[in-house]
Amino acid sequence: MNIDGDTGKQRDEFYRRMDGQALLPLWEQLHTLVPRQPASDFIPALWRYSKLRPFLMEAGRLISAEEAVRRVLVLENPGKRGQAAITPSLYAGLQLILPGEIAPSHRHTQSALRFVVEGHGAYTSVDGERTRMAPGDFIITPSWTWHDHGNPSEAEGGEPVVWLDGLDIPTVRFFGACFAENYPESRQPVLRPEGNSNARYGANLLPVHHKSRSLTSPIFKYPYERTREALETLGNHADLDDWDGVKLRYVNPTTGGWAMPTIGACMQLLPRGFQGKTRRSTDATVFSVVEGHGKAVIGGETFDFAPRDIFVVPSWTSVSLHAGGEECVLFSYSDRPIQEALGLLRELHDPL
Told to check if 70 binds ligand GTQ by CB under 6 A, we report yes
CB 249 within 8 A of CB 266: yes
Cβ–Cβ contacts within 10 Å for residue 135, how many?
Answer: 18
Among 56, 65, 72, 270, indicate the residue that binds ligand GTQ (CB under 6 A): 72
Number of alpha carbons in the 13 Å side-chain half-sphere of residue 333: 31
Distance CA 317, CA 250 (A): 24
Q: Please say which residue, 102 or 297, places its beta carbon nearer to ligand GTQ.
A: 102
Binding-site residue total for ligand GTQ (CB under 6 A)? 9
Q: Please say which residue, 63 or 230, places its beta carbon nearer to ligand GTQ.
A: 63
Distance CA 296, CA 273 (A): 13
Q: How far is the CB of 71 from ligand GTQ (least distance, A)?
A: 9
For the purposes of burial, counting CB atoms within 10 Å of the CB of 106, is it exposed (0-12), middle (13-18) or buried (19 or more)?
Answer: middle
Distance CA 311, CA 298 (A): 10
Pairing of strands 147-150, 138-141: unpaired
Told to check if 293 binds ligand GTQ by CB under 6 A, we report no
- Fill in the amino acid letter for 150: G
Q: Please say which residue, 105 or 285, places its beta carbon nearer to ligand GTQ.
A: 105
Return the H-helix or E-strand segment holding 298.
Answer: strand 294-298
Q: How far is the CB of 169 from ligand GTQ (least distance, A)?
A: 7
Among 65, 86, 116, 167, indicate the residue that binds ligand GTQ (CB under 6 A): 167
Q: Which residue is closest to ligand GTQ by CB?
A: 165
Told to check if 75 binds ligand GTQ by CB under 6 A, we report no
Among 165, 168, 244, 309, indicate the residue that binds ligand GTQ (CB under 6 A): 165
H/E/C letters for each residue in 129-158? Answer: EEEECCCCCEEEECCCCCEEEECCCCCCCC
Q: How far is the CB of 124 from ligand GTQ (least distance, A)?
A: 8
Q: Please say which residue, 162 or 329, places its beta carbon nearer to ligand GTQ.
A: 162
Q: How far is the CB of 133 from ligand GTQ (least distance, A)?
A: 12
Q: How far is the CB of 81 from ligand GTQ (least distance, A)?
A: 17
Pairing of strands 264-270, 328-334: antiparallel
Q: How far is the CB of 122 from ligand GTQ (least distance, A)?
A: 12
**How does DSSP classify residue 188?**
P
Which x/- pattern over 106-125 shows residues binding ligand GTQ (rule: CB under 6 A)?
A: --x---x-------------
Told to check if 95 binds ligand GTQ by CB under 6 A, we report yes
Partnered with residue 328 across adjacent β-strands are 270
CB 296 within 8 A of CB 352: no
Q: How far is the CB of 218 from ligand GTQ (least distance, A)?
A: 20
Told to check if 296 binds ligand GTQ by CB under 6 A, we report no
Instruction: Please report, as ranges, the residues that interact with ligand GTQ according to CB under 6 A.
Output: 70, 72, 93, 95, 108, 112, 147, 165, 167
